[in-house]
């Protein structure tokens, strides 16, 4: 089982995949990985059902109970490199799903590695120079939101940075990282309260998935701090609607939102990847709230993707699905 684990992890690292997905159904296991936002299937093995339970054992989960949702962590060394891994298991009516997340395998990137677009580089580089405000980085799963956030933080100098995450996805010694742990009485609200006592310059809140995280991210920004976070949404305007759906006051959002991005990540071949960003700055946000639409000439995500394809930076086949949105 250990050899199978190392084999799968090496493949994931080779393709820069952040997750390995396991589907256990009718005694068979399908293993897939997400690469550039698309799922690719790994070669199957007769012992994969046993391998699935081996992962549960390594993550200190109850192997005899696959009906209760469980999540655990463990570490593994691959070619001299220590990986922090999280394995989550959930069972539906007819199948069991497991996701093995590689939490700290993200390469050290610079902003110019994310996109060659000079205007987008400049805007991204300015985010952590702000003193206050809420900046939201949105996109679907596998679009590179976390990569963008950590890249901005890693390029930031001479600022006190604290993160509040659930879970911590990339371990770093450059800033203080706290992980939400309800069992130890560290909720989103408690975490924000603790961080603010340390006079941070920048607070990074991990992906917002629920009302408490959304509300506390806004409260932190309203207290006069710079907050950066990520959110699952298909567009910049969709990110605003998502935050409002989570219970954030539109009036408060108008006050604190400094900028929003929506992004997609593409595999451009030869090991090169590129993010394409739709950017909604503070002026555009104010116009959108006042008029319910974008300004004339606003560059939406589809337009940005189409221009990247036309310029030959992104293969048309990679972007085909997003150009239909």
pLDDT score of 183: 61
Q: Which domains does the chain have, with CATH numbers?
A: 2-102 (3.30.450.90), 111-323 (3.40.50.300)
Count of all residues that appear for the chain in the document = 325
pLDDT score of 122: 97
State the CB neighbour count (10 A cutoff) for residue 26.
Answer: 6
Summarize pLDDT for 144-179 with one digit per residue, the tens.
Answer: 898 899 999 999 999 999 998 877 777 777 888 888
Alpha helix stretches (DSSP H) within 143-234: 145-155, 188-196, 211-222
Summarize pLDDT for 268-310 with one digit per residue, the tens.
Answer: 887 788 999 999 999 999 999 999 999 999 999 999 999 999 9
- CB-count exposure of residue 197 (10 Å: 0-12, 13-18, 19+): exposed
Closest by Cα among 257, 276, 256, 254 to 265: 276
SS3 104: coil
pLDDT score of 265: 92
pLDDT score of 119: 94
How far is 263 from 278, CA to CA, in rounded Å? 6
pLDDT score of 27: 85
pLDDT score of 184: 62
Do 13 and 78 meet the contact criterion of CB atoms below 8 Å apart?
A: yes
Q: Which residues of the chain have pLDDT under 70?
A: 36-37, 104-107, 182-185, 325
Do 253 and 218 meet the contact criterion of CB atoms below 8 Å apart?
A: yes
How far is 325 from 297, CA to CA, in rounded Å? 19
pLDDT score of 269: 81
Beta-carbon contacts of 242 under 8 Å, excluding residues fewer than 6 positions away, are: 138, 231, 232, 233
pLDDT score of 71: 86
Torsion angle defined by CA atoms of residues 243, 267, 147 and 170, in that order, rounded to the nearest 10 degrees:
120
How far is 82 from 65, CA to CA, in rounded Å? 29
How far is 299 from 276, CA to CA, in rounded Å? 12
Beta-carbon contacts of 169 under 8 Å, excluding residues fewer than 6 positions away, are: 101, 103, 104, 106, 146, 206
């Amino acid at each position: 089982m250990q050899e199978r684990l190392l084999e799968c992890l090496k493949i994931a690292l080779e393709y820069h995949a952040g997750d390995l997905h396991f589907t256990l159904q009718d005694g068979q296991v399908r293993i897939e990985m997400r690469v550039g936002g698309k799922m690719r299937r790994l070669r199957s093995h007769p012992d994969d059902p046993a391998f699935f339970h081996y992962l549960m054992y390594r993550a200190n989960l109850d192997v005899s109970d696959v009906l209760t949702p469980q999540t655990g962590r463990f570490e593994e060394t691959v070619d001299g490199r220590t990986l922090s891994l999280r394995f989550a298991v959930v069972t539906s009516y007819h199948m069991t799903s497991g996701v093995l997340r590689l939490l700290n395998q993200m390469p050290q990137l610079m902003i110019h590695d994310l996109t060659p677009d000079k205007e987008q580089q400049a805007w991204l580089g300015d985010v952590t120079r702000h003193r206050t405000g809420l900046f939201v980085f949105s996109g679907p799963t596998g679009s590179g939101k976390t990569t963008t956030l950590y890249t901005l933080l890693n390029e930031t100098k001479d600022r006190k940075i604290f993160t509040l995450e659930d879970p911590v996805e990339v371990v770093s010694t450059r800033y203080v990282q706290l992980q939400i742990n309800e069992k130890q009485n560290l909720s989103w609200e408690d975490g924000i309260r603790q961080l603010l006592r340390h006079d941070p310059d920048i607070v990074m809140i991990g992906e917002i998935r629920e009302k408490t995280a959304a509300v506390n991210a806004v409260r932190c920004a309203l207290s006069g701090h710079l907050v950066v976070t990520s959110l699952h949404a298909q567009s910049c305007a969709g990110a605003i609607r998502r935050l409002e759906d989570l219970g954030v006051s539109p009036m408060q959002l108008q006050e604190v939102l400094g900028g929003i991005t929506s992004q997609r990540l593409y595999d451009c071949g030869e090991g090169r990847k590129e993010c394409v960003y739709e950017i909604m700055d503070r002026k555009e946000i104010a116009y959108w709230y006042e008029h319910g639409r974008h300004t004339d000439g606003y560059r939406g995500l589809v337009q940005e993707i189409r221009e990247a394809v036309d310029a030959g930076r992104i293969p048309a086949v990679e972007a085909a699905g997003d150009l239909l949105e």
